[in-house]
Structures are given as structure tokens and as C-alpha cells.
């Protein structure tokens, strides 16, 4: 797999919570470190996501916002 994204993090699918329109996917990229993404349920179905399988978090963003109180 070749991508233009610079941030590709390999991990293990920890949770797949399907809804009618969107699906929440949690990917553990290190012990105790998870990245959560919301994707379309159609996309999740195409990927056949299952708990325990390997996957990648691919981050491609022109802006990252950080906030503090």
C-alpha cells in the first residue's frame, strides 16, 4: 500500500460500533493508546472490519487544532 499521507499508524481494531449511517472504529496503535475514527457504515462494510484484525490509521490533514482551558 503506497499513500501520500505521512502519518500511517499500524494497530489492532479494538471496537467496531455500527450504526445505520456511520460506524465508530477504535484502533489500538500502542498499548493503551487508541485512535477513534467515524467512517461511513458502507465503508466499514467494504473493509469487513472485525475486532482483533490488523489495520491502519491514516492521517492526512492540512490543519490540526489544539485547544486548552
Burial classification of residue 58, based on how many CB atoms lie within 10 Å of its CB (0-12 exposed, 13-18 middle, 19 or more buried): middle
Are 13 and 23 in contact by the 8 Å Cβ rule? The answer is no
Secondary structure (DSSP) of 35-54: EEEEEEHHHHHHHT--TT-E
pLDDT of 6 reads 80
**2-59 per-position pLDDT tens digit:** 887 788 899 999 999 999 999 999 999 999 999 999 999 999 999 999 999 999 999 8
pLDDT of 30 reads 96
Domains and CATH numbers, the chain: 1-47 (2.40.50.100)
**Rounded Cα gap, residues 28 and 4, in angstroms:** 22
Question: What is this structure's pTM?
Answer: 0.81
Are 51 and 11 in contact by the 8 Å Cβ rule? The answer is no
pLDDT of 47 reads 95
Amino acid at each position: 500500500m503506497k499513500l501520500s499521507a505521512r502519518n500511517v499508524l499500524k494497530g489492532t481494531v479494538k471496537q467496531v460500533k455500527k450504526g445505520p449511517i456511520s460506524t465508530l472504529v477504535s484502533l489500538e496503535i500502542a498499548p493503551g493508546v487508541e485512535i477513534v475514527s467515524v467512517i461511513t457504515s458502507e465503508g466499514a462494510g467494504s473493509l469487513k472490519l472485525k475486532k482483533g484484525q490488523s489495520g491502519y490509521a491514516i492521517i492526512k490533514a492540512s490543519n490540526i487544532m489544539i485547544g486548552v482551558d
